[in-house]
Chains A and B, each alone.
Chain A
Amino acid sequence: MKEYSIPPGARDLVGKECKKKKALQRTIEDFMKSWGYEEVMTPSIEFYKTFQTGFARLLEEEIFKFFNNHGRILTLRMDMTIPIARMVNTRFKNVEKPLRFMYAANVFRVQKEMALKQHELTDCGLELIGKGGKDGDLEVLTCALELLKRLGLQNFTMELGNIALFQSACDGSSLDRKEVKNLTKLVARKSLKELGEYVEGLDISKEAKSFFIELPLLCGGVDVVKYVKYLCFNQGMEDAIDEMEGLLGDLEDLGYLDLISIDFGKLPRMDYYTGLLFESYVKGVGGSILSGGRYDALLEKFGEAKPAIGFSIKLDDLMNLVPYEDEEESFTVIYGEGEIRVGIKELLELQRDGRSGVLEERAGTKGVEVVSNRGGKC
């Protein structure tokens, strides 16, 4: 006998797991739609070049690639932000007013095998395109906070950062691309010792040195913002801090401040971000469950420049955090030998009342019998 299996890093979902995932996905979708976001579906297959354009530092080995019959390189999409940015510049070229899109789609990434990682994950998220500045930040951030509340997650925190602080510090220190890349890596990994040694060797001001060295630990409660203010050494950095203070004021007013923490050392791998960054962590998941940020520089790579902000939530990780009870009542329609037509008629009747059932032949049954999964006949 031949046995067929699936590749490592892939999985089948059946039964209750499948229902749970769908139900969670529906909750998220309905929630996003209630904020006026419209669903989009883009193809699973994109040109490799689209992703190469979107990510300046695309890791080639992380993306599934194949060819079409014209010899062009195709990929399975590795995220949804890039395809939406591409789509906006083709289908919504001359639209002035803000665009609000949401998606729930599978994305693909080549992962290390046998490391509890999946090549295919469901990403649910939204993008607000064409609305810059603090109003857009506040809308999307509030939406993310409310979504986590809606999902019933306990004790989550939303951590904020702003990549503009780091970028302005780099610009103000006239660092070259390689130096910025090295700094990004060391700060993002919070490699305190190596960072210290690397920064000491750079030809930059004393203020800049102490800022970069402290950056990985510029995190914690919202009070850290006041401290960071004293480390700023140019206008761009001060603007980033002012922006953060303004946002925190708004969040306090809306009653979210106790859910907020700060990490200015948050430097994401995706290199299209330009301003606010946010991530949520919950007990029970080793990485972030939700992440997002402002990416005003992405859209122009595909044509017209537009400010944009968005976030996505990891549906697959939520599966282990959120309880689920399958509450739906279902029925078995039992019919006697040769009586399938009567059975089908009964099932159709049941479905007209918005119920669902399964057909089953049972010898000796007179006519049809409808039995509920909760016991009892009807």
Chain B
Amino acid sequence: MLNVALTKGRLEEDTMELLKNRGYGIEEWESKGRQLILQDRKKNVRYFLVKSADCLTYVEHGVADVGVVGSDVMEEYGGDYYDMLDMDIGICKFVVAMPKGKEANYESGHLKIGTKYPNVATKFFKGKGFDVEIVKIEGSVELGPILGLCDAIVDITETGTTLKENGLTIVDEVFDINAKLIVNKASFRIKREQVMAFIDDLKGE
């Protein structure tokens, strides 16, 4: 049996849709209540629904053989696993945003950056040679600059609407994000055929 960890939310829905089109039996998922473990009706596959960062942990320890997770989370938390397939879902980007009208401050002097992704932000600004101070914010990151906690934010955006509605403009792009299929190193050996078949199904080959 192949154990698949799915990141709860949008990625879970998009992956299930994809699997349904590829002939997987996701009926149990379609009628699920609060269940977190689901069995495929047609294939020998079991799904776990987990939070994104936990997806990495489950796969790294081999409790899940494969996982679907955003590249943003992989970049932030790292870890030891194979990163074998880029998927066309979960597409968005990391951006730097600042309050409208203050864009001119971006490249001048010391900046305070609010973010849920301190590692990504640190690496990005180090690469640019900017003098920044990172402050970790757990949610509603857009509030930071509005209330004056920080000068700018590093966050994920798909369309930029939420940023705009909160009076923020994009001043820089960090990198593009998409969902990836990650694979446990031992599972890649022990369940190679199942893992490769699952990858091919997701690829649509």
Interface residue ranges, A against B (CB under 8 Å): 115-116, 157, 159, 189-194, 220, 261, 281-288
Closest residue of chain A to B184, judged by CB? A286
State A193–B190 Cα separation when bound (angstroms). 23
Contacts of A159 in B (CB 8 A): 189
- On whether A190 and B61 interact (CB within 8 A), knowing A283-B190, A285-B186, A286-B184, the answer reads no
- On whether A281 and B83 interact (CB within 8 A), knowing A190-B183, A286-B185, the answer reads no
Contact sample, A vs B, 6 pairs, CB 8 Å cutoff = A190-B83, A192-B84, A192-B85, A261-B189, A283-B186, A286-B184
Asked if B43 is an interface residue, CB under 8 A from chain A, the answer is no
Are the C-beta atoms of A287 and B190 separated by less than 8 Å? no
8 pairs of A and B residues whose beta carbons are closest in the complex: A286-B62, A190-B82, A193-B86, A281-B189, A191-B83, A286-B61, A281-B186, A189-B83
Give the contact-size bracket for chain B. 20 to 34
- Interchain nearest-CB distance for A286 vs B (Å): 3
- Interchain nearest-CB distance for B69 vs A (Å): 14
Are the C-beta atoms of B186 and A287 separated by less than 8 Å? yes
- Tell me if A's interface is mostly helix, strand, loop or mixed: loop
Closest residue of chain A to B82, judged by CB? A190
Contacts of A194 in B (CB 8 A): 83, 86
State A254–B188 Cα separation when bound (angstroms). 27
Interface residue ranges, B against A (CB under 8 Å): 57, 60-63, 80-86, 183-186, 188-190, 192
Contacts of A282 in B (CB 8 A): 186, 190
Are the C-beta atoms of B84 and A190 separated by less than 8 Å? yes
State A294–B80 Cα separation when bound (angstroms). 23
State A157–B189 Cα separation when bound (angstroms). 8
State A190–B83 Cα separation when bound (angstroms). 6
- On whether A285 and B62 interact (CB within 8 A), knowing A220-B192, A261-B189, the answer reads yes
- Interchain nearest-CB distance for A114 vs B (Å): 10
State A356–B109 Cα separation when bound (angstroms). 74
Contacts of A261 in B (CB 8 A): 189
State A283–B83 Cα separation when bound (angstroms). 21
Contacts of B186 in A (CB 8 A): 281-283, 285-288
State A191–B86 Cα separation when bound (angstroms). 9
Most buried by A among B84, B183, B192: B84
State A194–B75 Cα separation when bound (angstroms). 14
- Interchain nearest-CB distance for A181 vs B (Å): 16
| Complex partner residue of B185 from A116, A157, A283, A287, CB under 8 angstroms | A287
Are the C-beta atoms of A115 and B184 separated by less than 8 Å? no
Closest residue of chain A to B183, judged by CB? A190
Contacts of A116 in B (CB 8 A): 61
Closest residue of chain B to A221, judged by CB? B192
Contacts of A190 in B (CB 8 A): 82-84, 183, 188
State A157–B186 Cα separation when bound (angstroms). 11
Contacts of B189 in A (CB 8 A): 157, 159, 261, 281
Contacts of B60 in A (CB 8 A): 286
